[in-house]
Amino acid sequence: MINLDAAGLRLYDFAYIWEGRRMPEATIDSAKLEELKALDSRRFTAALIADYAVLALALAAGHWTLSAPMWTWLAWPLLWLIIANRQHAILVLMHDATHGLAYKTHWLNELVGEVFCGGPAFVSMATYRHNHLAHHKWMNEDKDPDWVRKLADPEERSTWDFPLKNASLGYWLRVWQRSIAYQFGFLKESSEKKPAAPKKDGLAKRVSQIRLASYVLIAAALTYFGLWLDFLLFWVVPAVFVLTALMRIRAITEHFALKHEGFFSEVRNVNYRWPIEQALFSPHNVALHLDHHLYASVPFYRLPALHRSLRENENYAAKAHINDGFVFGRHSVWKDMRETGPAQPLRV
- pLDDT per residue as tens digits for the range 15-65: 343 434 445 556 788 889 899 999 999 999 999 999 999 999 999 999 999
Give how far Cα 312 sits from Cα of 12, 31, 302, 303, 309, Å: 22, 15, 16, 15, 6
Residue 94, C-beta contacts closer than 8 angstroms, at least 6 positions apart = 113, 117, 118, 121, 123, 125, 128
3-state secondary structure of 296: coil
Give me the residues paired with residue 91 across strands: none
Neighbours of 345 (CB within 10 A): 9
**Per-residue pLDDT at 195 exceeds 70:** no
Nearest CA among 300, 307, 304, 280 for reference residue 44: 300
Question: Is residue 164 over pLDDT 50?
Answer: yes
Is 163 a domain residue?
A: yes
User: Considering the domain boundaries, does residue 347 fall inside one?
Assistant: no
Mean pLDDT over residues 295-318, rounded? Answer: 93
269 lies in some domain: yes
Average pLDDT estimate for 144-169: 84
Taking each helix axis as running N to C, give the angle between helix 76-98 and helix 125-137, from 0 to 180 degrees, rounded to the nearest 10. 70
- Does residue 6 carry a pLDDT above 50? no
Count up the domains in the chain and report the number: 1
345 in any annotated domain: no
The conformation of residue 234, written as its DSSP 8-state character, comes to: I
pTM above 0.85, yes or no: yes
Q: How confident is the model at residue 175 (pLDDT cuts 50, 70, 90)?
A: confident
Q: Does some domain include residue 58?
A: yes
- For 322, the enclosing helix (H) or strand (E) is strand 322-323
CA 80/CA 298 separation, integer angstroms: 31
| Chain centroid to CA 121 | 12
Range of the domain at 281: 4-10+17-339
Q: Domain for residue 203, yes or no? A: yes
Residues 6+ apart with CB under 8 A from 224: none
Inside any domain, residue 344? no
In a domain, 85, yes or no: yes
